[in-house]
């Protein structure tokens, strides 16, 4: 396959015409000759209904026993063996990749060269776009002059959404992209643009069937025993038909690309990019590089035009996330997939936004939303590969109660460093450490290192101090995102696409859930995942974040540990074994001296609480006359300490016991999990630490009892 790819090449004035990439290699093509090891003459056949039926029903044909394939020499039909194992599937995928070897990719230089020489076409489309956009801009200008800019934000946001819909596929995609950019658009615009759907008029079905035959080199009736004569769904870039494969009888969804869509999108991005230069130069309140954002977005849209790449995206997504029993990802049929045709397993299901239809199937919307939230968190923070177009139409509830993901044309990745930085950001948010939160924006690539974050800190404090007055279970995620969006909009932030898209995904899921339960909160549903990752992930960044969360001002915060364990146990993947061992490794590491000192101090405090707390409670059950004899005539109490200090000790002891109970009640708890811990404790550093802990406990208890003997009042600070 790599040989085929390297032999395909194109030229335009000696410059690379396009690039081709596959999972293992990238190539640039410069020559004008197109060569294949086994050249094939592609035949183009006209489409005719063999058995005319009323529109809206499936057209029947006689099925053969195995899938047909065009001859590599003359376009005649041959029979492929039914794939029986992964090797066959890989071979079929390789054939699909070969068909997609000449797929175009976005190049600003190529687009400028191509459309710069077509002034009539450019001017015609420019007038159409400028008329629509100019009218909108004029209204904004009038609003600004009249002081009604803020007052009319919602009205103008609705008008912009309608304008993008009228201008066609490129602008629908552009609007959806802008709906994830809080650094560019105010919240009102984000909300309205997020409602943009891909529902556009269909193109003629005859053109779709001709495209299938042309792309695959097969006649319709040789591939399908039946296929819907009309599209069952239409999107901005293509439309979908429901068919049944002849060789297997399986129902499939066949997505066919719109005719000349690449030409139309290329022209639009040429114009939009020119507008971006003007925005960069003259619009001061937009601080992001608009041209750079347009180029990045155009690359993503052009990737969507390669349906073989979309099939590979689906395969990778399925491998990573369909291991959970409540997530479903359809299979790809590679022998019937090319650049402009994608054939995937048909999914029977109901859109996640159709609550009534879901409940009629005996399913609960909230269960499906929770599955989507957990999958989104895994996408963002575990593997970093995620669905970048998460509108409700791409999420289906299957009759089996699974959440099915569809449409894998637009995917994105979260850098590994950012995955851990996001979790650390949540820790700083919980701790209300706004200075650390502001510094996190460097690691998240929100800000360049030369930007001073000190002015941002008061804005974060003003918003989050109010927002965090709610408990985690009360805090609305959309409110949090909108508030953070206002902060981002006011300062020189450049929000990475991965971060904006995942926020949009979680906001969409929360919005769907609110229809079923007005009290649902996505943060409460996602917090167990964060707690589990903090407690069990051995990554150094997360270990430091956990230590930062648990220790403050030299004291261990047992209430935080109890809360983390309580929440973490709600995650089905939580393991008590994993929660214990990484902590010990950090504790005994060469860089763990500061932590060891804190642990020694805390161990002494806990031992004192257990000893004195137990003695105090035992004292309550001793008869008064015995108390007088044993405690030197003191019948009021055995210790010279305040009631508050003693109560604090008892509460600490009880809290430690509750934490141990939480560990014991974990689904995988077994005393055997302590064996690795004992092995770690046999290390020399562990023995030294143990000796220091015992010494600290002995010293503290000895001081306490000497104090009692001498009847010296203690202070709560000891």
The pLDDT tens digits for 654-683 are 777 777 777 666 655 555 555 444 444 455
| pLDDT > 70 fraction of the chain, expressed in percent and rounded | 66
Query: Is pLDDT at 208 greater than 90 in this prediction?
Result: yes
Q: What is the pTM of this model?
A: 0.69
441 close to 453: Cβ distance less than 8 angstroms: yes
Catalytic annotation present for 389: yes
Q: How far is the C-alpha of 107 from the C-alpha of 17, rounded, in Å?
A: 8
CA proximity to 379, closest of 424, 324, 332, 300: 324
Query: Is pLDDT at 174 greater than 70 in this prediction?
Result: yes
Q: How far is the C-alpha of 127 from the C-alpha of 141, rounded, in Å?
A: 20
pLDDT band at 150 (very low <50, low <70, confident <90, very high): confident
For 625, the enclosing helix (H) or strand (E) is helix 624-630
The average pLDDT across 693-707 equals 59
- The set of residues, in sequence order, having a beta carbon less than 8 Å from that of 311 and lying 6+ positions away, is 93, 96, 332, 334, 337, 342, 344, 408
pLDDT at residue 182 in the model: 63
Minimum mean pLDDT among 246-260, 274-288, 502-516: which range? 502-516
pLDDT at residue 254 in the model: 97
Residue with tokens 């989507």: 372
Q: How far is CA 714 from CA 463, 568, 642, 707, in A?
A: 42, 38, 8, 8
Residue with tokens 């504790």: 587
DSSP letter at 19 equals E
434 close to 460: Cβ distance less than 8 angstroms: yes
Query: Which of 198, 389, 482, 571 is flagged as catalytic?
Result: 389
pLDDT band at 41 (very low <50, low <70, confident <90, very high): very low
* Sign, Cα dihedral of 438, 440, 444, 450: positive
CA proximity to 680, closest of 551, 570, 584: 584
CA proximity to 531, closest of 557, 496, 561: 561
Task: Give the number of C-alpha atoms closer than 13 A to the C-alpha of residue 459, restricted to the C-beta side.
Answer: 14
Q: How far is the C-alpha of 412 from the C-alpha of 500, rounded, in Å?
A: 11
The average pLDDT across 101-130 equals 88
Structure tokens at 211: 């495209």
Q: CA 540, 541, 547: angle at the middle one, nearest 5?
A: 85
Pairwise pLDDT comparison (658 vs 206), residue with the higher score: 206
3-state DSSP assignment of residue 48: coil
Q: How far is the C-alpha of 52 from the C-alpha of 480, rounded, in Å?
A: 56
Strand partners, 239: 234, 256
For β-strands 327-328 and 403-405, DSSP reports them as: parallel
pLDDT at residue 301 in the model: 85
Strand partners, 26: 21
pLDDT band at 401 (very low <50, low <70, confident <90, very high): very high
CA proximity to 507, closest of 102, 260, 193: 193
Q: pLDDT tens, 270-319?
A: 988 988 888 888 877 666 678 887 888 788 888 889 999 999 999 999 99
Count other C-beta atoms under 10 Å from residue 702's C-beta: 10
For the chain, what is the mean pLDDT?
74
Pairwise pLDDT comparison (59 vs 371), residue with the higher score: 371
For β-strands 59-60 and 15-16, DSSP reports them as: unpaired
Q: pLDDT tens, 353-394?
A: 788 899 888 998 888 988 888 888 888 888 889 887 777 778
pLDDT at residue 205 in the model: 95
Q: How far is CA 484 from CA 321, 454, 488, 496, in A?
A: 29, 16, 6, 14
Instruction: Pick from 215-229, 559-573, 598-612 the range whose average pLDDT is largest.
Output: 215-229
Question: What's the N-to-C CA distance of the chain in angstroms?
Answer: 73
343 close to 333: Cβ distance less than 8 angstroms: yes
Q: How far is the C-alpha of 337 from the C-alpha of 332, rounded, in Å?
A: 8
Q: How far is the C-alpha of 611 from the C-alpha of 698, rounded, in Å?
A: 11
Largest Cα–Cα distance of the chain, in whole Å?
A: 111
pLDDT at residue 25 in the model: 38
Q: CA 405, 406, 409: angle at the middle one, nearest 5?
A: 125
CA proximity to 83, closest of 93, 97, 75: 93
Strand partners, 397: 350, 403
Q: How far is the C-alpha of 353 from the C-alpha of 511, rounded, in Å?
A: 9
Instruction: Indicate the length of the chain as a whole number.
Output: 718
The average pLDDT across 560-574 equals 80
DSSP letter at 383 equals I
Q: pLDDT tens, 581-637?
A: 666 666 666 666 666 666 666 676 777 777 766 766 666 666 665 555 555 544 445
The average pLDDT across 530-559 equals 79
Instruction: Pick from 71-80, 200-209, 237-246, 496-505 the range whose average pLDDT is largest.
Output: 237-246
Pairwise pLDDT comparison (564 vs 328), residue with the higher score: 328
Minimum mean pLDDT among 383-397, 480-494, 678-692: which range? 678-692
pLDDT at residue 168 in the model: 82
Q: How far is CA 232 from CA 57, 443, 548, 602, 699, in A?
A: 11, 45, 54, 65, 78
The average pLDDT across 13-31 equals 35
For 120, the enclosing helix (H) or strand (E) is helix 119-146
pLDDT at residue 632 in the model: 53
Chain CA centroid to CA 113, Å: 37
pLDDT at residue 691 in the model: 59
DSSP letter at 392 equals G
pLDDT at residue 42 in the model: 37
Instruction: Pick from 403-417, 474-488, 526-540 the range whose average pLDDT is largest.
Output: 403-417
389 close to 405: Cβ distance less than 8 angstroms: no
3-state DSSP assignment of residue 244: strand
Query: Is pLDDT at 124 greater than 90 in this prediction?
Result: yes
Query: Is pLDDT at 647 greater than 80 in this prediction?
Result: no
Q: How far is CA 650 from CA 144, 613, 618, in A?
A: 64, 5, 12
pLDDT at residue 324 in the model: 82
Query: Is pLDDT at 21 greater than 90 in this prediction?
Result: no
- The set of residues, in sequence order, having a beta carbon less than 8 Å from that of 615 and lying 6+ positions away, is 638, 639
The average pLDDT across 495-499 equals 72
Q: pLDDT tens, 442-474?
A: 888 888 888 888 888 888 888 877 766 665 555
Structure tokens at 231: 């599209």
Query: Is pLDDT at 700 greater than 70 in this prediction?
Result: no
The average pLDDT across 259-266 equals 89
- The set of residues, in sequence order, having a beta carbon less than 8 Å from that of 578 and lying 6+ positions away, is 535, 536
Is 35 exposed, middle or buried (CB count within 10 Å of its CB: 0-12, 13-18, 19+)?
Answer: exposed
3-state DSSP assignment of residue 20: strand
Q: How far is the C-alpha of 639 from the C-alpha of 140, rounded, in Å?
A: 75
């Amino acid at each position: 396959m790599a040989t085929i790819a390297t032999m395909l090449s194109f030229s335009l004035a000696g410059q690379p015409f396009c690039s081709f990439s596959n999972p293992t290699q990238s190539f640039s093509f410069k020559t004008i000759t197109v060569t294949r090891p086994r050249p094939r003459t592609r035949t183009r056949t006209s489409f005719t209904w063999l058995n005319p039926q009323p529109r809206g029903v499936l057209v029947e044909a006689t099925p053969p026993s195995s899938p047909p394939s065009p001859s590599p020499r003359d376009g005649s039909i041959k029979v492929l063996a039914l794939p029986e194992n992964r090797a066959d599937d890989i071979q079929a995928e390789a054939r699909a990749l070969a068909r997609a070897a000449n797929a175009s990719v976005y190049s600003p230089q190529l687009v400028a060269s191509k459309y710069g020489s077509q002034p009539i076409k450019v001017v015609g489309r420019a007038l159409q776009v400028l008329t629509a956009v100019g009218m909108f801009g004029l209204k904004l200008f009038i609003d600004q002059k009249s002081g009604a800019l803020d007052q009319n934000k919602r009205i103008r946001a609705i008008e912009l959404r309608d304008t993008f819909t009228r201008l066609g596929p490129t602008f629908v995609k552009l609007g959806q992209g802008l709906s994830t950019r809080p650094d560019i658009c105010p919240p009102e615009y984000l909300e309205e643009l997020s409602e943009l759907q891909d529902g556009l008029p269909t193109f003629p079905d005859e053109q779709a069937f001709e495209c299938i035959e042309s792309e695959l080199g097969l006649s319709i009736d040789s591939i399908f025993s039946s296929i819907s004569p009309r599209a069952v769904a239409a999107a901005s870039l293509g439309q979908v038909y429901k068919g049944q494969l002849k060789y297997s009888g399986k129902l499939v969804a066949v997505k066919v690309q719109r005719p000349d869509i690449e030409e139309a999108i290329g022209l639009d991005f040429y114009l939009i990019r020119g507008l971006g230069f003007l925005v960069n130069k003259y619009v001061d309140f937009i601080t992001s590089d608009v041209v750079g954002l347009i180029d990045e977005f155009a690359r993503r849209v052009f990737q969507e035009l390669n349906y073989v790449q979309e099939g590979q995206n689906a395969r990778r997504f399925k491998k990573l996330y369909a291991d959970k029993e409540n997530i479903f990802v359809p299979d790809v049929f590679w022998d019937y997939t090319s650049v402009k045709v994608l054939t995937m397993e048909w999914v029977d299901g109901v859109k996640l936004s159709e609550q009534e239809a879901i409940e009629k199937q005996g399913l609960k919307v909230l269960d499906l939303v929770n599955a989507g939230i957990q999958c989104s968190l895994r996408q963002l923070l575990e593997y970093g590969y995620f669905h970048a177009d998460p509108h409700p139409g791409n999420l289906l509830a299957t009759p089996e109660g699974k959440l099915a993901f569809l449409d894998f044309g637009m995917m994105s990745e979260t850098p590994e460093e950012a995955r851990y930085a996001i979790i650390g950001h949540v820790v700083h948010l919980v701790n209300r450490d706004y200075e650390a939160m502001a510094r996190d924006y460097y690691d998240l690539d929100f800000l360049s290192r030369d930007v001073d974050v000190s002015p941002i800190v008061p804005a974060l404090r003003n918003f989050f101090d109010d927002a965090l007055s709610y408990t985690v279970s009360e805090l609305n995620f959309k409110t949090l995102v909108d508030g953070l969006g206002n902060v981002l909009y006011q300062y020189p932030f450049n929000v990475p696409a991965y971060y904006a898209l995942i926020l949009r995904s979680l906001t969409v899921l929360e919005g769907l859930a609110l229809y079923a339960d007005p009290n649902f909160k996505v943060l409460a549903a996602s917090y167990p995942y964060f707690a589990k990752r903090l407690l069990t992930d051995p990554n150094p960044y997360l270990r430091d974040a956990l230590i930062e969360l648990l220790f403050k001002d030299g004291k261990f915060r047992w209430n935080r540990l109890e809360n983390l364990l309580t929440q973490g146990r709600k995650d089905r993947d939580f393991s008590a074994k994993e929660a214990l061992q990484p902590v010990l490794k950090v504790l005994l590491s060469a860089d763990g001296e500061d932590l060891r000192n804190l642990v020694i101090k805390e161990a002494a405090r806990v031992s004192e609480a257990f000893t004195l707390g137990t003695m105090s409670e035992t004292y309550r059950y001793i008869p008064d006359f015995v108390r007088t004899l044993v405690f030197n005539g003191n019948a009021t109490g055995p210790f010279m300490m305040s009631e508050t200090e003693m109560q604090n000790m008892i509460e600490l002891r009880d809290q430690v016991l509750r934490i141990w109970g939480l560990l014991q009640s974990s689904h995988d708890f077994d005393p055997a999990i302590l064996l690795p811990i004992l092995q770690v404790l046999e290390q020399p550093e562990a023995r030294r630490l143990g000796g220091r802990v015992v010494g600290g406990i002995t010293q503290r208890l000895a001081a306490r009892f000497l104090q009692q003997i001498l009847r010296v009042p203690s202070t709560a600070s000891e």
